[in-house]
Every structure is written in structure tokens, then in C-alpha cells.
Structure 1
Amino acid sequence: MCSISIEMEFNGTTIWYWLIVALVGFGAAILGYFFGKSDTPNVSDIADELNVLEIENAKLKADLDTCKKRLASGNPSSQKENAQNTLVMDKAPIFDATLAKNAMGKKIKENDLKIVEGIGPKIEELFHNFNIKTWKQLAESSADKCQEVLDSGGKRYRLHDPASWPMQAKMAHAGHWKQLADWQEKHRAGKY
């Protein structure tokens, strides 16, 4: 009889042991799943990050163009290349209002800075105060110059990001309306 009671106690202890191990393992599995799930980036987070990087890339391209112009002004061999690049900008296609309207979905006036996503009437006025009145002039401005224009308007313009404005103006100046419309649709006011 003594041996039977020892076996029962041993089996009772074993059941509790395995039950605790199973519960701890199950709890760890659930916690691991949720921790792993929280580290996985969301598709919208990836899209947001991609768009931020595209805007940053546009700013860097505009800054690079500015640097190239500064370097070219001091180097005689680069001055010829710079003059050729300027001629390409100067030989932009003649403004075609019908083509612009078809691509943009609204009537476009030549050198209307408000066509650039992010520029409204007040910001356009700020650019005019800095004698930047054409798409070409805006395209040749650096992102830093655009920020300086915004800063001149006061604190209310701090939310604006002018990094892509020279690039958009360059597309408008060159008559690349479809490309501009596609870019703006993709980046419109932070909605993706």
C-alpha cells in the first residue's frame, strides 16, 4: 500500500510540472508573436518613408545643381558646359496652355508659381518679393533659397517644405506636364 501512494504523488507532481511548462511555453509564444509583429513595418509606414526619401532626394538634387553652378562659375572649362546647360533651360518649349490643361486638369497660366504643389497665393507673393516670378527662376533657385523666401513670411510658413519646388518648376518650365501631374498626384499634400 505504501508503494501505491508514492506513485500517485509522483504522478500528481508530474502533471503540475508539465502543466506549468506548457503554460510558460504558450505564454512565451504569444509574447514572441506580438513582439515580432510590432517590429514588422506597416505598408503605409513604408510608403510614407519612401515619399519622405523621394522629397529629400529632390532637395539633394536641387542642392547639387546649385553646387555645380557655383563650381562652374570659377572654372573656365566648366563655364562652357554651364553655358550649354543654361541654353538648354533657355530653349524650353513654347508654353502650350492646352497641353498643360489636358495634363493638369485645370487652366494653367504661364509662369504661375501656384502650379507648384505647396505654393499658394501668399507664398507666390513672397517669391515675387524676392524677384522670383517665373518657373525658370524658381527652377534655378536652391531649396535653401526657397526656405529663405518662406522664412521671410514669418512663423506661419514653417510647415511648408520647399525641397521639391525647384524640381517641379523645372518640369513646368520644360513643358513636362504629364510628368509634373503624375508627381504631384503621388505627393499631393502628404496623402499617399
Structure 2
Amino acid sequence: MEYGTLLLATLEPCWLWWLILSALAFILGALLGCLLCGNKKKLQELETENAALLARANNWEKDYVGLKYQHEQTEAALKEARARLNSCEADNRVLKSKLEKQKGEGDFALGAAAPVTVPSSSEGEDLKIIEGIGPKIEALLKEEGILSWQNVADASVEHLRGILSNAGGHFRLAQPDTWPRQAALAAAGEWEALTKLQDELQGGVDKG
């Protein structure tokens, strides 16, 4: 009897410790499981947020490429518009200079010069831009098939002088020596060079 009581007294603390340790292990396992579940949920949320950020970044990159292309197109259009504006300003200076000289000097071969007008495509180009050519000489040249600045540039001075000579009258007084040079600049669109050349002329003739 004493032996049995002693055995029970010896085993009872061991059983109690085992129960305590089991309870602690259960509690720790439960806490660890909750922690892992919470971290897993948070990780999924982070992955979802990361995917959304990547999608937004891709959209921003596409928008940037599109805006860059539009910017390049706008720059090209602006450059072309500036070139056209410069050309128009040069044309305006040439026409203004021509008009002022015609008003001040008149057409030395045919009297007063007519205002510079822009002809229709069927009439050819405005040959009166060439200093020394008035409306009547222009009409005469166009009757001979010389309709454009390039036609005048390609014609020899002798050929032009022959046309004027055959027309007789005041036409013979015209001197076409500089007409091909002026016409070549006009045909090439070199308006500033044409204006500079005409500043050195007097009625279409070299001042020297």
C-alpha cells in the first residue's frame, strides 16, 4: 500500500507537466497558425497591389510613347510651318520691293507699271517679279510660250532680245541681260538673293 501511494505521488507531477506542455504546444501552434494565415492574406494583398501598380506603370509607359510621338509630329509640323512662313515673308518682301520700284520708276520700256498680281495656273507664273518686265512684256513673252520663271531662266539673252526686237516699238528698248539670272533665283525660291540682286539693278539693268 505504501509502495502504491509512493508511485502515485511520483507519477502525478509528470502527468501534470505533460498536460501543461501539451496545452502550451497547442496554444503556440494556434498562435503560429493565425500568424501564418494573417501573413499569407497580407502577402496576397501585396501581390494584388503590385500587379495593379505594374498595370498602371504599363499604361503610363504607353501614354508616354503616344505623347512623345505626338510631340515629334507637332515639332515637325511647326518646323514646316516656320519654313512656309519664312518663304511667305521672303515672297512678301520681293513683291513689296518690286511694287515700290514700279511705283517709283514705272516700266521704263512701256510707261507706268501695273500692280503685281498673282496669276492663275493657266496664265503661268507672274513674270513681273523679274525687274524690267512689265505687264506688256509679260504678255508678249507668254505669247511666245515663256510662261514661267524657269522658262525665262532657260532662255538665252539673245533669244529674249530677239522676241523683243521682233515685237518692235518700245519693246526694243528693253534690256533682258539680267532676266535669266533673276528668273533662276525666283524659280529656286531664293527670294532673299533675288531681292539683293534687284537692289543692285536699275530698271532691271546693272547699275554699273
How would you bin the TM-score normalised by the shorter chain?
0.3 to 0.5
Higher RCO (CA 8 Å, separation ≥ 6 residues): 1
Report the structure number with the largest CA radius of gyration: 2
Task: Give the TM-score normalised by the residue count of structure 1.
Answer: 0.46
Task: Give the TM-score normalised by the residue count of structure 2.
Answer: 0.42
